[in-house]
Structure 1
Amino acid sequence: MIKVEHLTKFIGIDKQPILHDVNIQFHKGEMITIVGGSGSGKSTLLRCLALRTKWDEGTFNVDGDDIFKRGISGKIKIKRQWAYLEQSPYFNLKRTALKNVLVGQSSQTPWWRMLTGMVRSDDYMGAMDVIESLGLLEKAHFKTSQLSGGERQRIAIARALVHGAQVILADEPVVGLDPKSIESVLELLRDLCKEERVTVLTVLPLELAERYGTRIIGLSNGKIVFDVKGRRLTHAEKNMI
């Protein structure tokens, strides 16, 4: 279980809270969709959970471990086991999709592998298995620059899984994609939750959040205004964000 209590984040000289006293608990296999207006704190919440943005207040407990009390080792645990997917994932566009999956990101991979791109044969086979499971086996040896936006998002997910991600934080992962690619990416994330017990937290437009999320969290002015499980939102709830 993951438990966040009293997460608060200030911005600016006057320390205005962009997140205020946020409390969340979530479990393996949940697909949590986060909704809210512009400036509500959605992206900041994901960045705080990924430890890419420093918390000003709050406690962070993962499977019984107090992450902040563990210091550097706690932060390393999160950066290795949690994957943060941005709207436009970074890739070396001159490398193939497979090589980008294998080499990974700096928080997951030894410096020498990042520099040289060298991999072991068992890593190669494992990565190919994951890429095949995501329906992109025929694109594994294409340069990443040749892939569509939806294919790149799936390759980003493959990279996260190959490097052991147990939690995926996805910040508007389908922005700018065509309807078919949107469906492909979100169905993939939903299937990972069901079949692999990966936990997903993703910022989505309301209509997609209702369609794909097992749970919907609404943010407004940096506060959670509802946390709904297993149903669509009421009109009153929609008016809260």
Structure 2
Amino acid sequence: MRVPIIAGNWKMNKTVSEAVEFVNYIKNELPDPSEREIVLAAPTLSLTSMVQAAKDTPLKIAAENCYCRIAGAYTGETSPRSLSLAGIHHVILGHSERRRLFNETDELINQKVQVALRNGLCPIVCCDDTMGRRIAGKKVRWVVSRILADLKGLSPADVTKVTMAFEPSWAIGTGQSADPEQAAEGCYLIRQTIRDMYGEDIGNAVRILYGGSVNETNIKALMAYDDIDGVLVGGASLDPDRFLKLVNS
């Protein structure tokens, strides 16, 4: 049985002290981890302080990115090995903002996924579907080639450690969420692609999230669909009271 994930992605928001205050505010109000896995992804500077604040609680702390090497002359990048040893559990890879603003390719994301797995991190791999492609009649089928590229070369055992996130780029930060049927369509297509690549059992085991203007008013409708195993939340995760409503909805 797939345990749902509610993951907040703070992006480049909150100072270290604000992040710790947030963790202390919510950490004793979270659902049973056997029912829901709660994750917070924050800027790198806050991660170790958040791990300490969340110690002995169900809350898992995630990185928003990492590099595809564990060490070397890569100024400004973050080592997946260092993240893992610091107690980080998940890492978001391939977010549409990374692809669009920093020109990250599927090839680079695939390299990051492989190195993250080898160093004990569980990747949350994002793939998107642009409004333009939907209007052109291609719907969400473009995600198939992205999944094939991002998961290339992974073993079946590795794929079960990966969480996928379907994030239509036109819905991220716009307040315009995909309707639940659109979200479910994208998540189903991702699952079916993984089934085609790795077989029915692996496809059924992988957790798939929806991300894009998720909030406390639409989360229940989204998660009512069998192929949506949780959500990746942006702006609505920045307020602790709103985030608690989301995780306990």
Greater share of helix: 2
TM-score using structure 1 length:
0.39
Report which of the two structures shows the higher radius of gyration computed on alpha carbons: 1
Structure possessing the higher relative contact order (Cα contacts under 8 Å, 6 or more residues apart): 1
Greater share of strand: 1
TM-score using structure 2 length:
0.39
